Amino acid sequence: MKRIALVTLGWSLAKPPEELEKDKIHVAEILRQIEMEDRFDPDKNYYNLDLEVGSKALEILMEELRATPDLGYVSRIDHRYTRQELEAAELLLWRLTNQAIEDDYYDLHVDGYQGGPNASHKRCPTCRAELEQIRDLVVNKALMRGKDISLTYSFEIILSERMARLFQEQGLTGFDLRPVHHYKKPYKGEPTLYQLVVTNVLPPMASPPTEFERILHCDVCGITSQYLKHTHWWGKLQYREETDMYYSRYVLERVKDFNHSAEYFGELAVSNPYVIISQRVYRLLREHKVKNWKAVPAYLVD
Ligand SMILES: [Zn+2]
């Protein structure tokens, strides 16, 4: 795994001309020091740089930013995995990277977020967390535009017919399929879509070493939601880096191809468990060149 720092470097256009000119020269000088002088453009006042943690270039850059914090900041540190690392992981966090499909039509347009009579879910009257899905989703299917998978705004997973069939034919476990309906009368070429409903729930993550932050709780419905720890400090500079997830090795006895984490994540009104997939699902998605997702290893501890 490589840790890549995403650093923004640049000068403020709000400064008086002579200071701005000085900052510009300073930025050019920093870029030269980290051997990125070819990126410099006097008309471009900010640069997004990807630098590996532990590299000489990042060390130089951070030294400069400590002395002159006006010139930039680290926005976050990303974890990048090699193919071998991903193929060695028995469990992976599955992250869908598109939200092409809007929410259920009646939730979005007819007060469904308050749990009204047409809502797709029963919701907590206080925190609005989804407590139970009470009918099939009704969406604008045209937005899927030939994609294989998409999240809705509320993080429901929508599958194309090809995907649903593939998962069934391969005998994958830990999920049900629910039909998805179009919000208006049927149209020519309307795709058949399904909602992937993950049914298997894993035991809680091993914590420590998994770390959480911003733990939220609603006393009315009893739901607890949180975030993986991601706030860190580099001297006085705050940056974002997500903590890895760990499970006790014994979860392998309980694991299916699709799994929900026991934990819920995010703000209460939109909190959802994470979807944890098996290595088998990971390979199948790659093999079939499915787009719009990524996977992060979830580690096992003894
Ligand atoms: Zn609640």
Between CA 123 and CA 174 the distance in angstroms is 24
What is the per-residue burial (b if ≥16 Cβ within 10 Å, else e) of 274-300?
A: bbbbbbebbebbeeeebeebebbbbbb
CA atoms in the 13 A half-sphere facing the CB of 232: 16
pLDDT at 237: 78
Between CA 264 and CA 267 the distance in angstroms is 9
pLDDT at 112: 86
Between CA 8 and CA 65 the distance in angstroms is 10
The candidate with the shortest Cα–Cα distance to 10, out of 75, 56, 78, 80, is 75
pLDDT at 135: 96
pLDDT at 113: 87
Q: How far is the CA of 269 from the centre of ligand 1 (A)?
A: 8
pLDDT at 16: 93
Q: How far is the CA of 204 from the centre of ligand 1 (A)?
A: 21
Q: How far is the CA of 132 from the centre of ligand 1 (A)?
A: 12
Question: What is the DSSP pairing of strand 193-198 with strand 149-151?
Answer: unpaired
- Name residues with Cβ closer than 5 Å to ligand 1, which is an ion: 124, 126-127, 129, 218, 220-221
pTM for the model stands at 0.89
pLDDT at 86: 97
Query: What pLDDT tens digit does each residue of the chain (302 aa) get?
Result: 999 999 999 999 999 999 999 999 999 999 999 999 999 999 999 999 999 999 999 999 999 998 998 999 998 999 999 999 999 999 999 999 999 999 999 999 988 888 888 899 999 999 999 999 999 999 999 999 999 999 999 999 999 999 999 999 999 999 999 999 999 999 999 999 999 999 999 999 999 999 999 999 999 999 999 999 999 987 777 889 999 999 999 999 999 999 999 999 999 999 999 999 999 999 999 999 999 999 999 999 99
pLDDT at 235: 77
Q: How far is the CA of 201 from the centre of ligand 1 (A)?
A: 21
Q: How far is the CA of 2 from the centre of ligand 1 (A)?
A: 39
Q: How far is the CA of 217 from the centre of ligand 1 (A)?
A: 8
